[in-house]
Amino acid sequence: MKYWIEHSKTYDRFMTAYPRYLSMLDFHRQALRKCNLVLDSGAGTGNLTLALLEDGHNVVAADSNEYALNILKRKCKPYISRLNVVKIDLSKKTSFSSDYFDGAASCLVVPLVTRPELYLTEIYRTLKNGGYFSASPLLPKKGLFDYLINTLETDIKHTGLTIKYRPEWKKFIASAKENAKQIMKKSLEAEELMSMLDRIGFSEIEVSNDRLFNGYIILVRCRK
Ligand SMILES: C[S@@+](CC[C@H](N)C(=O)[O-])C[C@H]1O[C@@H](n2cnc3c(N)ncnc32)[C@H](O)[C@@H]1O
């Protein structure tokens, strides 16, 4: 968890300028557009939470990283009446009621949660029948770290951010490298994830053909 705290410190500076990440957020917004109450699971510093609030949803933002949740709370302050922030370990059974959420998002959280099957089963349990789930999992494909850092650096070059904030950029790269190591270790392949969703009971499972992340991250939507 220590590296998540480190990562949160520099995450927004560079990620919110990364067009591919913003397109990923748009994918979730689009997938959840019909929902009222949405769970943003593994909400982190709250970029998706903010987008969902701007779109008019009621949002429960859940994460175990208090440092990131404090950033989220500051960022989402104008929408506080429609936001509930919960510090929670998503690798355990949650106290959310069954059949509660209209939609749930998981943006760059699988496979970082240590027990993905329990995590996804909990999402299923807490969704209403017909509820929507969108996920953008990171896949353990060789070259993940280089791909993400190289595309990020190239895509945001014109902003001058990596020059202006050189020490932060170096810290970001170091924590991103640590994250990528964890992802490679946990090794949940796309096919395993799809069969897990199917086994849990999700239907209408669709993987977007989008080549946004060259197969390192896939965009998945499905329903309970
Ligand atoms: C790469 S960040 C993604 C944050 C956010 N969804 C986004 O896209 O910007 C992954 C998030 O998952 C959270 N996370 C990882 N394992 C968790 C767990 N067991 N319980 C709750 N949150 C967890 C981390 O704290 C981190 O904020």
- Locate 174 and state its tokens: 């170091």
Residue 161 has pLDDT above 90, yes or no: yes
Residue 111: band (very low, low, confident or very high) from pLDDT cuts 50, 70, 90: confident
Residue 32 has pLDDT above 80, yes or no: yes
- Burial of 137 by CB count in 10 Å (0-12 exposed, 13-18 middle, 19+ buried)? buried
pLDDT value at position 2? 63
Alpha carbon of 209 to ligand 1 centroid (Å)? 24
Q: Please report, rounded to a whole number, the percentage of residues in the chain having pLDDT higher than 90.
A: 80
Q: Give the ligand 1 atom nearest the CA of 138.
A: 1
Q: How far from 106 is each of 131, 157, 219, CA to CA, in Å?
A: 14, 28, 10
Q: What tens digit of pLDDT does each residue of 68-107 get? A: 999 999 999 999 999 999 999 999 999 999 999 999 999 9
CATH number of the CATH domain containing 117: 3.40.50.150
Alpha carbon of 39 to ligand 1 centroid (Å)? 13
Q: Is residue 54 part of a domain?
A: yes
Residue 55: band (very low, low, confident or very high) from pLDDT cuts 50, 70, 90: very high
Residue 198 has pLDDT above 70, yes or no: yes
Q: How far from 62 is each of 49, 150, 202, 212, CA to CA, in Å?
A: 10, 30, 21, 26
Residue 188: band (very low, low, confident or very high) from pLDDT cuts 50, 70, 90: confident
Evaluate: CB of 136 within 6 angstroms of ligand 1.
Answer: no
Number of compact structural domains in the chain: 1
Residue 1 has pLDDT above 70, yes or no: no
Q: Is residue 106 part of a domain?
A: yes
Evaluate: CB of 18 within 6 angstroms of ligand 1.
Answer: no
Range of the domain at 126: 19-139+187-223
Mean pLDDT, to the nearest integer, of 148-176? Answer: 93
Q: Is residue 192 part of a domain?
A: yes
Q: Is residue 89 part of a domain?
A: yes
Mean pLDDT, to the nearest integer, of 163-188? Answer: 87
Candidates 4, 75, 134: which one to mutate for ligand 1, based on the most atoms within 8 Å of Cβ? 4
Q: Is residue 145 part of a domain?
A: no
Q: Is residue 161 part of a domain?
A: no
Q: Is residue 133 part of a domain?
A: yes
C-alpha of 39 from chain center: 11
Q: Is residue 118 part of a domain?
A: yes
Ligand 1, atom 13: nearest CA belongs to which residue?
42
